[in-house]
């Protein structure tokens, strides 16, 4: 019954040479794996940096063997200087936000599965797609190179507030060459993500196969589509902002540096610039970036839960509308990062309102997930556990957002560990749980082998407990007045908090070590894992309709896929199985959540 | 949650239905091979490229919107904004860029005629295309002359925020025009090899006209703010 008309419009022929097949590949699946590899490399780097920071926070005078090899001036005698702590912190934040939380859930999974889930043989602009990865990889190299040039990477934090970021070497170590490398890296990164977003949007709009109407897209595809629209509009703003920042550095312009600024007894040769201008431009990107990190995870988690609940979500459409609402509102709330920046207090009220409103779609999503789970016979496997973990982290981190959304409370909590705990849970750990869930779920499709479930469950429980041990105490620290970005605690009231910091450090080291279980599982299963059936989770979307795992070069082996059903046809009465694939022409009692 | 009966029985009937009800783009009704098997017709129908150019133009618009808001905020942030007279060559340059849009449209019209079977159309199309390319090069050169004129007035990139924004905006636009010129060179090459698809020319034209509109916007912005 399948339409077997040949694929006439191949974007490109299957490559044969090693370089074209694995390095400069045009195949979206290879590019997706390349992005995943980059994210893995980046997350390991970022995690090691966080370990170094945590060790320093717990035991300020601790000698970390070999640290001087990374920077002789930043760690004389293997003891970290205050400035070097800030440099490592900046790199930790930058690497994690840009090269992990953006690349893995969006670029890696999206590249691999979006074309397959819409029934296409590839993305419409494969060359742009290839460039997208290599440009992003170049950005990573440029960023990492700042460790080895001059006096190391910038110390201005991942938000790079002016004037610290804009005045040059006089502001401290890394603020010369390191700063320019940071801004160049991020500008290059923006180009890569713009090329990627272009492909994602056009793939979703124009590459859908016959029968794949927009409402038949799985929730993952919706997540990636909405994210790509955010990426397109947000990175297009950050890029010129970075260029202006570079010009302030190298060309002596005064976009972000005010008049009469004296640093280290030197009057700065700038005039009239606006420090708030950088914050406006940065956060116009920065807040959507939070959703760029989390919305793909929302799609992935919904997708995985549905397959394991064996029934659709309470409302497919409301999930899509909520993710869309998050995207739209994300541009209207960015000013809540600037409540104490000195901007007009009336602006704080204006930004506070949509910030409180954005909790509505977030809450709707959580209620739909929990309501759908209620009474379901959820299959417990590592992927579904991590999906549940995502919801848990999203709720825990989201609740603290209610407090921060109100300017009067934010005045006290701003720039404390409360904020650090909030965004790590709601954005970072939740997104990472989404990445883990996606990895365990799609691994059989990508490699043809199963990951070890026992190891996976151990990995989940230890990570779940560990993440809470690390990030819940951050909230208490913040309420106690512990300011963030301090490299040591010497004030009377802060000294008493050091034991809690040491507990967090131990928890961070242990939780980091637990990730070795994941790495072992990831690589061991690739070669020795149990061979995976074509559709191990009895799922319905098109990635499980490919003729092999991993899918062939053109995804469907020359078959022109036709879609007949909504994406989540589970619990079908009268069917031999309890599910029907999207491309099955079988006449069924369709499960629909909307008419 | 309602349970309804889906009726996908007849494939042909269903496909017709899908074609009629496709919400957007090509989804729900993509034909890979037309009934007559003509691949050229399929390849010339490239909705992804058409959508892609709009998506790209959206990103470019966002970049210039960001720079515009930066200009407005920076101008209001301090009293150091120095007004200056725009280089006179910009007026001529504006006319040249506007003219290049006209010549490109003429090229497109003749190309359409050539597709309709008129042999002369192809040569005329190429002629207008060469002229468009030339005008594009003259425009970018004109921008360079404008920068020289500004330097002559003693206004450099870092002299004043007004001159900083002038250089940044005009350079960003010129870079995008250079990208458009690259696209037109590709179009010209394909035309000379008789391998040009109408959709390619349409998309290149859309980009070029956008550069035109963008320049008018920037010119007015600079006129009022400088």
Question: Which tens digit of pLDDT belongs to each residue from A560-574?
Answer: 899 998 999 988 876
Q: Are A446 and A544 within one domain?
A: no
Nearest to B7 among A207, A212, A587 (CB): A587
Assess contact for A573 and A563: CB atoms under 8 A.
no
On the CB side of A229, CA atoms within 13 Å amount to 16
| Interchain CB distance below 8 Å, A211 and B78 | no
Question: Which tens digit of pLDDT belongs to each residue from A71-104?
Answer: 999 999 999 999 999 999 999 999 999 999 999 9
Q: Are A188 and A47 within one domain?
A: yes
Q: Are A53 and A166 within one domain?
A: yes
pTM given for the model: 0.91
Paired with B4 in beta bridges are: A590
Assess contact for A67 and A52: CB atoms under 8 A.
yes
Domains with residue ranges and CATH for chain B: 87-225 (1.20.120.80)
Residue A259 lies in domain? 28-301
| Interchain CB distance below 8 Å, B5 and A590 | yes
Assess contact for A79 and A63: CB atoms under 8 A.
yes
Q: Are A461 and A587 within one domain?
A: no
In a domain, A12, yes or no: no
Picking from A97, A122, A28, the residue whose alpha carbon sits closest to that of residue A235 is A97
CA dihedral B35, B37, B41, B47 (to 10 degrees): 70
**Which of A323, A347, A376 is the last residue before a domain boundary?**
A376
Number of domains in chain A: 4
Report the C-alpha gap between A594 and B3 in whole angstroms: 9
Question: Which tens digit of pLDDT belongs to each residue from A227-269?
Answer: 999 999 999 999 999 999 999 999 999 999 988 899 888 888 8
In a domain, A19, yes or no: no
Average pLDDT of the segment spanning B114-140: 88
Q: Is the pLDDT of residue B118 over 90?
A: no
In a domain, A18, yes or no: no
Nearest to A280 among B21, B43, B73 (CB): B73
Q: Are A158 and A87 within one domain?
A: yes
Paired with A591 in beta bridges are: B3
CA dihedral A530, A531, A534, A537 (to 10 degrees): 0
Residues of A in contact with B59 (CB under 8 A): 194, 197-198, 232-233, 235-236
| Interchain CB distance below 8 Å, B63 and A251 | no
Q: Are A185 and A249 within one domain?
A: yes
**Which of A376, A397, A431 is the last residue before a domain boundary?**
A376
Find, in chain B, the residue whose alpha carbon is nearest to that of A250. Answer: B158
Report the C-alpha gap between A3 and A306 in whole angstroms: 28
Q: Are A205 and A341 within one domain?
A: no
Phi, psi of B22 (to 5 degrees): -55, 130
Task: Read off the tokens for A394.
Answer: 């999203």
In a domain, A1, yes or no: no
In a domain, A139, yes or no: yes
Report the C-alpha gap between A516 and A126 in whole angstroms: 34
Question: Which pLDDT value is given to residue B42?
Answer: 40
CA distance A540 to chain B (A): 16
Quick one: three-class SS letters along B73-95? Answer: HHHHHCCCCCCCCCCCHHHHHHH
What lies within 8 Å, CB to CB, of B85 at 6+ separation is B226
In a domain, A186, yes or no: yes
DSSP character at residue A556: S
Q: Are A335 and A215 within one domain?
A: no
Q: Are A220 and A324 within one domain?
A: no
Residue whose tokens read 């390849």: B43
Q: Is the pLDDT of residue B37 over 70?
A: no
Q: Are A198 and A59 within one domain?
A: yes
A79: left (phi over 0), alpha (psi -120 to 50) or beta: beta
Pick the more confident residue, B196 or B61: B61
Which residue positions in chain A have pLDDT lower than 50?
1-10, 594-595
Q: Are A137 and A56 within one domain?
A: yes
Report the C-alpha gap between A62 and A17 in whole angstroms: 51
Assess contact for A538 and A580: CB atoms under 8 A.
no
Q: Is the pLDDT of residue B38 over 60?
A: no
**Residue B5 — very low, low, confident or very high, per pLDDT cuts 50/70/90?**
very low
In a domain, A173, yes or no: yes
For residue A358, say if its preceding peptide bond is cis, omega within 30 degrees of 0: no
Residue A271 at interface with chain B, using a CB cutoff of 8 Å: yes
Find, in chain B, the residue whose alpha carbon is nearest to that of A281. Answer: B66
Picking from A358, A349, A306, A311, the residue whose alpha carbon sits closest to that of residue A331 is A358
Average pLDDT of the segment spanning B53-66: 96
Q: Are A513 and A566 within one domain?
A: no
Cβ of B39: how many Cβ atoms within 10 Å?
13
Picking from A160, A312, A323, A322, the residue whose alpha carbon sits closest to that of residue A248 is A160
**Which of A252, A281, A301 is the last residue before a domain boundary?**
A301
In a domain, A4, yes or no: no
| Interchain CB distance below 8 Å, B70 and A253 | no
Give the CATH number for residue A92: 1.20.210.10
Picking from A7, A201, A111, the residue whose alpha carbon sits closest to that of residue B48 is A201
Residue B34 at interface with chain A, using a CB cutoff of 8 Å: no
Question: Which pLDDT value is given to residue B39?
Answer: 38
């Amino acid at each position: 019954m399948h339409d077997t008309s040949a694929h006439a419009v191949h974007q490109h022929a299957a490559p044969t040479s090693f370089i074209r097949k694995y390095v400069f590949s045009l195949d979206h699946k290879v590019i997706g794996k390349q992005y995943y590899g980059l994210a893995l490399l980046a997350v390991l780097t970022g995690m090691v940096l966080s370990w170094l920071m945590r060790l320093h926070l717990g035991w300020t005078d601790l000698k970390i063997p070999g640290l001087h090899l990374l920077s002789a001036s930043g760690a004389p005698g293997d003891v970290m200087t205050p400035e070097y702590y800030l440099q490592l912190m900046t790199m930790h934040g930058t690497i994690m936000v840009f090269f992990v939380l953006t690349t893995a859930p969006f670029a890696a999974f999206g590249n691999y599965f979006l074309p397959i889930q819409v029934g296409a043989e590839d993305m419409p602009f494969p060359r742009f797609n290839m460039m997208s990865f290599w440009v992003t990889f170049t950005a990573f190299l440029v960023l990492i190179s700042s460790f080895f040039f001059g006096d190391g990477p910038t110390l201005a934090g991942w938000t790079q507030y002016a004037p610290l970021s804009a005045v040059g070497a006089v502001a401290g170590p890394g603020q010369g060459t390191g700063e320019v490398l940071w801004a160049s890296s991020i500008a290059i990164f923006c180009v890569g993500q713009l090329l990627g977003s272009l492909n994602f949007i056009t793939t979703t709009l124009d590459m859908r196969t016959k029968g794949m109407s927009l409402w038949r897209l799985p929730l993952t595809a919706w997540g990636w589509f909405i994210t790509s629209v955010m990426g397109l509009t947000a990175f297009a703003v950050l890029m010129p902002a970075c260029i202006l920042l570079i010009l302030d550095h190298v060309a002596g312009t005064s976009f972000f540096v005010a008049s009469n600024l004296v640093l280290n007894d030197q009057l700065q040769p700038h005039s009239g610039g606006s420090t708030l201008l950088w914050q406006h431009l940065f956060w116009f990107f920065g807040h959507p970036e939070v959703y760029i990190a989390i919305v793909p995870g929302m799609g992935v988690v919904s997708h995985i839960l549905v397959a394991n609940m064996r029934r659709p979500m309470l409302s497919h459409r409301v999930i899509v509308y909520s993710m869309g609402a998050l995207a739209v509102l994300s541009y209207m709330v960015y000013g809540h990062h600037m409540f104490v920046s000195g901007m007009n207090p009336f602006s704080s009220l204006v930004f506070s309102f949509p910030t409180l409103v954005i909790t509505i779609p977030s809450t709707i999503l959580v209620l739909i997930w929990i309501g759908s789970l209620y009474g379901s016979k959820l299959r417990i496997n590592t992927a579904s556990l991590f999906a549940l973990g995502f919801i848990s982290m999203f709720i825990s981190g989201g609740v603290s957002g209610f407090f921060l959304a109100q300017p009067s409370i934010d005045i006290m909590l701003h720039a404390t560990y409360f904020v650090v705990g909030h965004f790590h849970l709601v954005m970072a750990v939740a997104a990472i749980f989404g990445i883990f869930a996606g990895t365990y779920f799609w691994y059989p499709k990508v490699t043809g082998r199963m990951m070890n479930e026992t190891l996976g469950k151990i990995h989940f429980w230890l990570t779940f407990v560990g993440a809470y041990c690390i990030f819940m105490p951050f909230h208490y620290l913040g309420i106690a007045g512990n300011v963030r970005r301090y490299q040591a605690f010497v004030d009377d009231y802060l000294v008493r908090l050091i034991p809690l910091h040491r507990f967090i450090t131990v928890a961070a080291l242990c939780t980091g070590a637990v990730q070795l279980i994941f790495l072992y599982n990831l690589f061991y299963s690739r070669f020795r894992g149990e061979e995976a059936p074509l559709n191990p989770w009895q799922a319905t979307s098109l990635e499980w309709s490919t003729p092999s795992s991993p899918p062939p070069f053109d995804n469907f082996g020359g078959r022109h896929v036709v879609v007949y059903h909504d994406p989540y046809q589970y619990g079908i009465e009268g069917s031999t199985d309890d599910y029907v694939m999207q491309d099955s022409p079988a006449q069924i009692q369709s499960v629909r959540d909307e008419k | 949650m309602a349970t309804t009966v889906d009726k996908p029985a007849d494939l042909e009937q269903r496909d017709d239905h899908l074609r009629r009800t496709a919400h957007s783009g090509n989804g729900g009704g993509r034909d890979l091979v037309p009934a007559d098997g003509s691949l050229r017709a399929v390849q010339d129908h490239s909705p992804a490229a058409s959508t892609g150019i709009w998506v790209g133009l959206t990103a470019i618009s966002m970049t210039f919107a960001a720079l515009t808001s930066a200009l407005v905020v920076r101008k209001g942030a301090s009293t150091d904004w120095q007004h200056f007279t725009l280089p006179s060559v910009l007026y001529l340059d504006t006319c040249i860029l506007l003219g290049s849009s006209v010549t490109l449209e003429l090229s497109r019209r003749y190309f359409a005629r050539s597709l309709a079977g008129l042999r002369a159309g192809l040569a005329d199309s190429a002629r207008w295309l060469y002229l468009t390319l030339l005008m594009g090069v003259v425009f970018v050169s004109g921008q360079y002359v404008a920068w020289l004129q500004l330097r002559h007035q003693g206004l450099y990139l870092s002299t004043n925020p007004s001159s900083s924004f002038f250089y940044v905006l005009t350079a960003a636009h010129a870079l995008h025009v250079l990208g458009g010129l690259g696209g037109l060179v590709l179009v010209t090459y394909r035309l000379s090899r008789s391998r040009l698809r109408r959709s390619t020319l349409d998309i290149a034209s859309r980009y070029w006209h956008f550069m035109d509109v963008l320049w008018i916007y920037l010119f007015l912005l600079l006129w009022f703010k400088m």
